[in-house]
Chain A
Amino acid sequence: ETGVTQTPRHLVMGMTNKKSLKCEQHLGHNAMYWYKQSAKKPLELMFVYNFKEQTENNSVPSRFSPECPNSSHLFLHLHTLQPEDSALYLCASSQVLQGDTEAFFGQGTRLTVV
């Protein structure tokens, strides 16, 4: 496989459940990101990992917990979510360099909280 792969593609969970989203990148990048896309809203950056170290946490509620065990894998652990957390969750990766760069996105996980 190449690029950025996210699993699962779709997830329905109850508010008391615990689940995890997985992201894997095969591009040799050293930075990974979690984004949230809600209907009629811009993509919102949730977490940034550079060289496996979390460098950004944009005021995300603690019911979302990221984990980056190595530069190729990124997880988003979910627990006691709310219905308003239903959204498309996108993982992305990039190579942090001196100079402009772009990120490569996975296909996303469509999350529905019931």
Chain B
Amino acid sequence: DQQVKQNSPSLSVQEGRISILNCDYTNSMFDYFLWYKKYPAEGPTFLISISSIKDKNEDGRFTVFLNKSAKHLSLHIVPSQPGDSAVYFCAASPNSGGYQKVTFGIGTKLQVIP
């Protein structure tokens, strides 16, 4: 049973518009959430994170929203750029202070169309 679910395998967005990637989790012990981006033939790179004490974290064009009651988080990219085309992984951890228990989702492939 997947504890971190990314139900949309792919998403296409026009350049300049907003991209919204969604993630749901089932484990109520998760309290730290991360997004990774992966280009083909490269390893995942860390993008942004959020702790459960917050409901929003923003870094430039990237904003992550956390809704603990719904066990849902989303990544907003605005404006979307062609270079954002990649696979985005949502990940969650049950404890602060360690990476060992991070659980990944299956990923959503984002295509930004010029």
Contacts and interface: CB of A to CB of B under 8 A. Distances in A.
Interface size class of B (residues with CB under 8 A): 20 to 34
A59 interface: no
A50 to B, nearest CB: 8
Interface in A75-114: 90, 92, 94, 96-108
A52 B3 CA distance: 29
B99 A102 contact: yes
Nearest to B100: A48
Given A55-B100, A99-B97, A103-B99, A90 B51 contact: no
A90 to B, nearest CB: 6
Interface size class of A (residues with CB under 8 A): 20 to 34
Contacts, number: 66
B43 interface: yes
A16 to B, nearest CB: 28
Interface stretch (B14-22, B61-69, B71-79, B102-110): B102-110
Contact of A100 (B4, B97, B107): B97
B50 to A, nearest CB: 9
A90 B44 contact: yes
A99 B4 contact: no
Nearest to B43: A105
Contacts of A98: 96-97
B80 interface: no
A40 B44 contact: no
B49 interface: yes
Interface in B1-52: 2, 4, 32, 34, 36, 41-46, 49, 51
Given A40-B106, A55-B100, A102 B46 contact: yes
Interface of B: 2, 4, 32, 34, 36, 41-46, 49, 51, 89, 93, 96-100, 102-107
Interface of A: 4, 6, 31, 33, 40-43, 45, 48, 50, 55-56, 90, 92, 94, 96-108
